[in-house]
């Protein structure tokens, strides 16, 4: 199996160690006990990692590089051939082969179908928590819509029907504007800005529906906008001993919110504002304003990979890197 060798290749033994260094990747590599992810990536069969078979963990780390640097499959193939720092991060020997774009695409699809990206996101989150980087003072809930790859069909076709070539996408509204695509729901740790929970759905799914999945139960409080308000959600937080910091909305039988509730909403809005930084970075820096894949399962894997590398990069900054 190619990749992740414990022994230095002959070519690397004669190479100046300063060549191919990348400080950002070195810090990320040293932050995580990658060996704990190997069994998760290893669930995939050898046939799904290419011929000759590449080490699943090496392939997984290649997908993280793709998300970190916003690379296409051909771009990732070229970078693995050309950049020594990428080979070192993944564990591909200098004098060995690297996967082509077809192999990378096949592995990503297999990983998506097996839920590997989600399992590894959870494992990395657990490691960051064990290092004390996740503060658990509060969880900031929010969601953003990502435009679908294909052009939006006419809304007259009806909600819930999606697109014939992209059945996982659907119409949804955000800030009063209709969008066709998917929705990324996140729970972000207050203070650290790390993503603790992430779920991908069609854009049609309401924010409040995902609230129970995003709340971990070990945070001191939950901060959310009016889209997460429901009696059931408030009751669940109270039963779990979690402080309810969900904004109130004006109901049809109330002309206006009392002044104290307006002030409360304003305070909550300020506290939950940092969650917007995640979505801003996702769309501006990581190229996720529009999806690249054509199915919900593939886009879920792609966006979970983003959430993972976002956490890895942010964690190195928090830790002093």
Domain ranges of the chain: 10-114, 135-293
Q: For the chain, what percent of residues have pLDDT higher than 90?
A: 76
Q: For 87-97, write each residue's pLDDT tens digit.
A: 999 999 888 89
Q: What is the mean pLDDT of residues 65-84?
A: 96
Per-residue pLDDT of 203-253, as tens digits, reads 999 999 999 999 999 999 999 999 999 999 999 999 999 999 999 988 777
Cα separation, 231 vs 193, whole angstroms:
27
Q: 59: closest CA among 83, 87, 17, 31? A: 87
For residue 155, name the pLDDT band (cuts at 50, 70, 90).
Answer: low
Residue with the larger pLDDT of the pair 273 and 155: 273
Fold of the domain built from segment(s) 135-293: Nucleotidyltransferase; domain 5 (3.30.420)
The predicted pLDDT at position 164 comes to 66
What is the reported pLDDT for 167? 82
């Amino acid at each position: 199996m190619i990749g992740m060798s414990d022994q230095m290749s002959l070519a690397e033994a004669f190479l100046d160690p300063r060549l191919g260094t990348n400080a950002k990747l070195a810090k990320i590599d040293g932050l995580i006990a990658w060996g704990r992810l190997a069994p998760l990536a290893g669930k995939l069969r050898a046939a799904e990692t290419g011929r000759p078979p590449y080490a699943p963990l090496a392939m997984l780390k290649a997908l993280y590089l793709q998300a970190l640097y916003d690379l296409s499959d051909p771009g990732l193939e070229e970078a693995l051939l050309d950049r020594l720092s990428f080979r070192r991060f993944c564990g591909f020997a200098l004098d060995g082969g690297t996967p082509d774009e077809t192999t990378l695409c096949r592995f990503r699809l297999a990983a998506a179908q097996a839920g590997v990206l989600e399992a590894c996101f959870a494992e990395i989150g657990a490691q960051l928590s064990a290092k004390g980087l996740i503060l658990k003072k509060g969880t900031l809930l929010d969601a953003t819509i990502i435009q679908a790859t294909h052009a939006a069909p006419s809304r007259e076709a009806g909600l819930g029907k999606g697109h014939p070539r992209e059945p996982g996408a659907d119409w949804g509204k955000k800030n009063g504007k209709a969008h066709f695509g998917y929705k990324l729901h996140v729970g972000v740790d207050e203070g650290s800005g790390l993503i603790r929970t992430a779920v991908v759905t069609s854009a049609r799914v309401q924010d409040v529906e995902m609230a129970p999945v995003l709340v971990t139960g070990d945070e001191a409080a939950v901060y959310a906008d009016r889209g997460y308000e429901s009696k059931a959600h408030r009751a669940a937080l109270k039963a779990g001993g979690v402080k309810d910091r969900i904004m109130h909305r004006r109901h049809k039988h109330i002309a206006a919110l009392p002044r104290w509730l307006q002030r409360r909403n304003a305070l909550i809005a300020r506290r939950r504002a940092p969650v917007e930084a995640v979505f801003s970075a996702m769309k501006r820096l990581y190229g996720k304003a529009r999806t690249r894949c054509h199915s919900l399962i593939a886009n879920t894997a792609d966006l979970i990979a983003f959430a993972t590398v976002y956490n890895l990069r942010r964690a190195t900054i928090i830790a002093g890197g």
